[in-house]
A and B are shown apart, each in its own frame.
Chain A
Amino acid sequence: MSANRVAVALRQSWDSDLAYSFRHSPYAMAAAVVFLLCVGSSTFAPWVAPHNPFDLGQLDLSNSLKPPMWLQGGEPAFPLGTDDQGRDILSTILFGARISLAVGICSVLFSMVLGVGLGLLAGYVGGKTDAFIMRVADVQLSFPAILIALLIDGVARALLPRAHESLAFYVLVLSIGVSGWVQYARTVRGSTLVEKNKEYVQAARLFGIHPLAIMARHVLPNVLGPVLVIGTIHIATAIITEATLSFLGVGVPPTQPSLGTLIRIGNDFLFSGEWWVTLFPGIALVVMVLAINLLGDWLRDALNPRLRT
């Protein structure tokens, strides 16, 4: 009975316009495959990666700075070569992507919740609340995201000098998340202003439904479409921000390197000829970000009723 229902639901979603447009968009499908590969291989990095680069017992300095396997001196055990500490580049990329993705997704979720909440409030309540929230947003928007992230990171370092290492991940999520909420808030506020004057919201008010319930059950579902689109594209931006921060040395510690940290570390070897230390993490970053952006673009078009045929 319920299995049957699941089957029906599956068939319906397969048949839906979104699925149809997905099946007919080669870019979106390719991007989804790449993205799933990234997510899958990095989630299961401990099982997929040939080595565990963070197990000091496995490290052997005699393996340091080996070139990729197809170059002279390369070894099949280290397909993309090794870094100065003898860590396998492929494995560090897989583990690093895991951190990058985690930071990206968590910070986007954080800014989404913050932004959607504040945007709904501003749009629905209006008046002074609206003015206040939107002025804060304006002020924040006049600072570059990196600057805000640096600021929060700096404050966290000053407040928690010792615990900082272990909290680095959360600080990073917080700083990137806080710097990103404005866009969600603005989008949601705009759509809320439109939705709240629609007659179905007025009707709900007539039945005496509490404003919070109206926001949650009527307005929210109808303003979420664009939020999802921005969110997808934002994951890519967040990953790059994280990489930049890590590159600047204020991100995650080098003992748990993200892609950004890897690129920074590798950068030092670029001029001594060991290009692979930085190039491969760089490529991994670009491919991942590109895939996410393509998915976001597709989602934006697919959800846009004006472009639907």
Chain B
Amino acid sequence: MTDVRPAHPNALPARGARGPSGGLRPAHPNPLPARGEREPSVGETGHGRPLLDVRHLRIEFPTRRGVLTAVDDVTFAIAPGEVLGVVGESGAGKSLTGAAIIGLLEPPGHIAGGEILLDGARIDHLPHDEMRRVRGRRIGAIFQDPLASLDPLYSIGSQLIETIRTHLPMSEAAARTRAVELLQEVGIPAAARRIDHYPHQFSGGMRQRVVIALALAANPRLIIADEPTTALDVSIQAQIITLLRRLCREYGTAVMLITHDMGVIAETADRVAVMYAGRIVEIGPVADVIRAPKHPYTIGLMGSIPSVTADRERLVQIEGSMPRLTAIPSGCPFHPRCNRVFDRCLHERPELFDARTSRAACWLHAGES
């Protein structure tokens, strides 16, 4: 896959205009170009015009000790049929980003800046009812715990049928036929019989497939999958991953796959975004990020993964731990742990610079673009 770079990757001058102290509040991005003409997308995708376009997303939590910025200036895009993997340590802001896109941020968390566009139309700040229609119809969601997405009191069939009929004009019988098809699609054997079973009658891997069937019920263009395989055993993980990949290929569904398992990303994603302390530190084609990571954090991350093929005495170790939201360091948030830190890192916040095929938010790559 080659990365087709738009002519003007950094369409928002506001980013460059920030003071050297790296004030945390960027000036509001310039008004967008008029719809209709094909504007260069901010977060480029490998496939031309993006389906999902997230620009300068900032998520804040007002707390008694001041405002916490949990996601800060996150920009990326996903094209139809593309799988974007999002990796990062616990607390990096992956789930919040996903939740913001499907409009399920839990108060007091809220979108404090930036915008989210689906098919060119803004979906952040949609009224509650409209967002509910977008969710399910145009964006499907899969979460880590399949039990949390299924109602134990209803058979999986009635849940599927209800979801289908909420979003698509279909008769009960037609919806039922479609439900059976969906279950077959996600690999549930004897679907016609099992459709009347209740969630507890399924094993963990099967439940997760039912959840995927639910997410697919209305043929959404985009699926947000937040750790869909984390609770599952390796052997079942492989089944779910294969399934997601296939759906993506056959229906052109775009997937944002959130996980902290690099292995899953390596197999599934086309591009990968690495998050750290609420920001994207590196984004690029998956092979490049994994084989030749650019950001020191990604380099450390890749080195710390044990492998079954290489015998290593010690794993690469990134000293320290990710900062708390209350104490995000100035400049590059990774600088206290970085082994290549220099003066500039302490005071100025790096934006995403082109680093050959990928982009990294690191001053080491400032000159390359």
Residue of B nearest to A24 (CB): B64
Interface assignment of A309: CB less than 8 Å from any CB of chain B: yes
Most interface-central of B61, B63, B64, B108 (chain A CB within 10 A): B64
Q: Which residues of B contact A20 (CB under 8 A)?
A: 64
Show 5 A/B contacts (Cβ-Cβ < 8 Å), sorted by A: A20-B64, A309-B61, A309-B63, A309-B64, A309-B108
Q: Which residues of B contact A309 (CB under 8 A)?
A: 61, 63-64, 108
Q: Which residues of A contact B61 (CB under 8 A)?
A: 309
Among residues 259 to 309 in chain A, which have CB atoms less than 8 Å away from a CB atom of chain B?
309
Among residues 41 to 86 in chain B, which have CB atoms less than 8 Å away from a CB atom of chain A?
61, 63-64
Q: Which residues of A contact B64 (CB under 8 A)?
A: 20, 309
Q: Which residues of A contact B108 (CB under 8 A)?
A: 309
Q: Nearest Cβ distance between residue A309 and chain B, in whole angstroms?
A: 6
Interface size class of A (residues with CB under 8 A): under 10
Residue of A nearest to B63 (CB): A309
Alpha-carbon distance A20/B63, docked complex (angstroms): 11
Q: Which residues of A contact B63 (CB under 8 A)?
A: 309
- List the 5 closest A-B pairs by CB distance, nearest first: A309-B108, A20-B64, A309-B63, A309-B64, A309-B61
Alpha-carbon distance A20/B108, docked complex (angstroms): 17
Alpha-carbon distance A308/B108, docked complex (angstroms): 11
Q: Encode contact with B along A31-50: 1 for CB under 8 Å, 0 otherwise.
A: 00000000000000000000
Q: Nearest Cβ distance between residue B105 and chain A, in whole angstroms?
A: 13
Residue of B nearest to A21 (CB): B64
Q: Encode contact with B along A236-277: 1 for CB under 8 Å, 0 otherwise.
A: 000000000000000000000000000000000000000000
Q: Nearest Cβ distance between residue A16 and chain B, in whole angstroms?
A: 11
Residue of A nearest to B108 (CB): A309
Alpha-carbon distance A309/B107, docked complex (angstroms): 9
Among residues 5 to 56 in chain B, which have CB atoms less than 8 Å away from a CB atom of chain A?
none
Residue of A nearest to B64 (CB): A20
Alpha-carbon distance A309/B108, docked complex (angstroms): 8
Q: Nearest Cβ distance between residue A302 and chain B, in whole angstroms?
A: 13
Alpha-carbon distance A46/B61, docked complex (angstroms): 52
Q: Encode contact with A along B104-133: 1 for CB under 8 Å, 0 otherwise.
A: 000010000000000000000000000000
Alpha-carbon distance A20/B64, docked complex (angstroms): 8
Alpha-carbon distance A309/B106, docked complex (angstroms): 11
Alpha-carbon distance A257/B38, docked complex (angstroms): 86
Alpha-carbon distance A20/B65, docked complex (angstroms): 11
Residue of A nearest to B109 (CB): A309
Alpha-carbon distance A170/B64, docked complex (angstroms): 46
Alpha-carbon distance A106/B108, docked complex (angstroms): 41
Q: Encode contact with B along A8-21: 1 for CB under 8 Å, 0 otherwise.
A: 00000000000010
Q: Nearest Cβ distance between residue A12 and chain B, in whole angstroms?
A: 14
Residue of A nearest to B62 (CB): A309
Q: Nearest Cβ distance between residue A288 and chain B, in whole angstroms?
A: 31
Q: Nearest Cβ distance between residue B279 and chain A, in whole angstroms?
A: 24
Alpha-carbon distance A309/B62, docked complex (angstroms): 9
Q: Nearest Cβ distance between residue A217 and chain B, in whole angstroms?
A: 30
Alpha-carbon distance A271/B64, docked complex (angstroms): 55
Residue of B nearest to A17 (CB): B64
Alpha-carbon distance A309/B61, docked complex (angstroms): 9
Q: Nearest Cβ distance between residue A135 and chain B, in whole angstroms?
A: 28
Residue of B nearest to A20 (CB): B64
Alpha-carbon distance A30/B234, docked complex (angstroms): 56
Alpha-carbon distance A69/B61, docked complex (angstroms): 55
Alpha-carbon distance A207/B64, docked complex (angstroms): 40
Alpha-carbon distance A257/B253, docked complex (angstroms): 77
Alpha-carbon distance A309/B64, docked complex (angstroms): 8
